[in-house]
Amino acid sequence: MAKTKSAYFCQSCGFEAPKWLGKCPSCGQWNTFVEEIVDKPNAAVPNWKSISNGSTSLQRANKAVQVTDITYSEEHRILTPDKELNRVLGGGIVPGSLVLIGGEPGIGKSTLMLQLALSMPAAKILYVSGEESDRQLKMRAERITPQPANGGAAGVIGQGCFVLTETSTQNIFKQIEQLQPDLVIVDSIQTLHSAHIESTPGSVSQVRECTAELLRFAKESSTPVFLIGHITKDGMIAGPKILEHMVDTVLQFEGDRHHVYRILRAIKNRFGSASELGIYEMLGAGLREVSNPSEILLSQRDEALSGITISATLEGLRPMLIETQALVSTSAYGTPQRSATGFDTRRMNMLLAVLEKRCGFRLGNQDVFLNITGGIRVEDPAIDLGLAAAIISSHEDMPISSKTCFAGELGLSGEIRAVNRIEQRIAEAQKLGFEQIFISKYNLPSGKKDNNQLDLSHYNIEIKAVSRIEEVFGLLFG
C-alpha cells in the first residue's frame, strides 16, 4: 500500500507547505496552517469528459497559434428572465462560464438561484444541493413559485428544473452525463468533496480540486456553472483566494437581514463591467427585481427638513438618485466625532476641511455624521456637492428644496469639477420630477470638443451651472 501523503495548507490564502509554520509566508496570517491528507490517483481524466464532443482531452493536442489566426465570433449569451442578473453579468450568462456567488448566511443566495432555475422552463437546469434535502427544496419552490389564478394548472414553471442532493463530484458528473443540462447550479462549493483528495469537505485542497473539476467541465462542455460560496466572519469568501482567481465572475450578495432590500454586486467579471449592481426586494414569495432603484432610495417626506439633499450617482451604467443626509451638532466632548455610513470617512474629512478653509464655516468643534440611505455604499465623487450642501444645511438649520438635486465633484480649492455621463444623471432627475439640478459649468459646451460636455437643448429641468462652492451656497441660502 502506498504511503499516505499529507501537506499543510493555509486556511486564509491556500499556501501549501511541507511542514507546519506559525506564520504564513504568503499572506502573513498567524496560526492558519492545517494538515490535510493529499492522495491523488493516476487517473487524471474524469469520466465526464466524454460528453465534450465525444472525445477526451488526451485526444486533443494543443499547440501555439498566432493571435491573428484565431477566429472569433460574438458569443451568444443566455438571457434569463431576471433583468437585474443579466445586467450584473454584463448582458446575460456566457456559455462555459464559471460564476461564484457569495454572501452572508440567510441573505438569499439559494433563493436567488432556485428562483432562476424555476423561471427558465425552456432550459434544462440541474440544481445540485449539498446542504438541503429534496423535500426542503420542494417547500421553497412552492413558496416562491407564483400560484395560478382561478385554480388553474401550474403551467410550465419549474418544468426544466432538476434537483440532485449529492456532495460527491464523481456522482454529480455521472448525473450530468446522463442529463446533459444547459445550466448547473451548485449549492454550495464548500460541501462538495472529490475522491481524488482524502480530506474533509470545505478544506482548502477539497475546494480547490472540486472547483478545478467543475472548471474543466464548464470549459470543455460550454455549460455555464453557478457556484454558491460561504463567507467568513470578515466578509471574505471562505476557502483559498485562488478560488476567486479560478472563476470567471465573482458576485457578492449584500444587504442587511433586517431590511428588505438586497444588492447583487459584481466584484470580478471577465465578460463585462465589474461596477454594475442589481437591487432586489426580499418578500415572502421570493426576491423581486427593483427596476427603478431611485424610488426606493428616496424617502417620501411631507415637510422640508434640514441636512437632507439628493445626489445623482452612477453604478456602472445605471444612474441613481440617492438621499444624502448630514447632521452637524455642537460637540459635547473635547474631540469632535466624525462618522460616515456608506461613504469614505477620509473623503468626508476632506470635504469638511474645504468648507472651513474656502467658505469660512467653523466646523472644527462640531460633531458631523453622514449617512447614505438605502444601505448602499457610494464611491462616486459626484456626490461631493450634495454632501457639502447637506452639511451646511444642517449647520445653518436651513432646509433645501426636495426638488433640487446635485451632481458635481468638489476640489481642494473649492472648485466644482466636471463628472462623467452627466446626461444620464440629468435625464434620471428629470424623469423623477426634479425641478433643478446643480452641475459643474465645465460640463457645459465650450469652443473645444469634449466628450464630457453637455447639450442643453432637450432638457426641461432647470440646470444650475456653477464653478465654485461659494456660488452654490449663494444660490441656495442667499
Q: Identify whether residues 181 and 86 lie together within a single domain.
A: yes
- Winning range, highest mean pLDDT, from 131-135, 149-153, 158-162: 131-135
Q: How confident is the model at residue 153 (pLDDT cuts 50, 70, 90)?
A: very low
Q: Identify whether residues 190 and 240 lie together within a single domain.
A: yes
Q: Identify whether residues 234 and 103 lie together within a single domain.
A: yes
What's the whole-number mean pLDDT along residues 104-128? 91
Q: Identify whether residues 91 and 169 lie together within a single domain.
A: yes
In this prediction the pTM is: 0.75
Q: How confident is the model at residue 315 (pLDDT cuts 50, 70, 90)?
A: confident
Inside any domain, residue 446: yes
Q: Identify whether residues 275 and 353 lie together within a single domain.
A: no
178: helix, strand or coil: helix
Which of 240, 256, 291 terminates a domain? The answer is 291
Looking at the structure of the chain, the number of domains it has is 3
**Is residue 309 within 8 Å of residue 382, measured between CB atoms?**
no
Which of 11-25, 35-49, 364-378 has the weakest average pLDDT? 35-49
Q: Identify whether residues 218 and 302 lie together within a single domain.
A: no
210: helix, strand or coil: helix
Q: Identify whether residues 251 and 263 lie together within a single domain.
A: yes
Q: Identify whether residues 329 and 355 lie together within a single domain.
A: yes
Query: For the domain that residue 133 is a member of, what is the CATH number?
Result: 3.40.50.300
Q: Which residue has the cell 469660512?
A: 360
Inside any domain, residue 69: no
Q: Which residue has the cell 432603484?
A: 293
Q: Is the pLDDT of residue 446 over 70?
A: no
Inside any domain, residue 149: no
Q: Is the pLDDT of residue 276 over 60?
A: yes
Query: For the domain that residue 418 is a member of, what is the CATH number?
Result: 3.30.230.10
Q: What is the pLDDT of residue 268?
A: 92
- What domain range is 215 assigned to? 78-144+159-291
Binding residues: 103-110
Binding residues for ATP: 103-110
**Cα–Cα dist 79/270, whole Å:** 17
Q: Identify whether residues 90 and 238 lie together within a single domain.
A: yes
Sign of the CA dihedral running 298, 302, 307, 312: positive
Q: How confident is the model at residue 257 (pLDDT cuts 50, 70, 90)?
A: low
**Cα–Cα dist 212/218, whole Å:** 10
Q: Is the pLDDT of residue 117 over 80?
A: yes
Q: What share of the chain is helix, strand, coil (3-state, %, to 5)?
A: 30, 25, 45
Q: Identify whether residues 229 and 301 lie together within a single domain.
A: no
Q: Identify whether residues 414 and 349 lie together within a single domain.
A: yes
Q: Is the pLDDT of residue 237 over 60?
A: yes
Which of 261, 291, 321 terminates a domain? The answer is 291
Q: What is the pLDDT of residue 456?
A: 64
Q: Give the residue with greater pLDDT, 71 vs 420.
A: 420
Which of 266, 291, 316 terminates a domain? The answer is 291
Q: Identify whether residues 269 and 309 lie together within a single domain.
A: no
Q: What is the pLDDT of residue 156?
A: 54
436: nearest Cα among 472, 389, 403, 392: 403
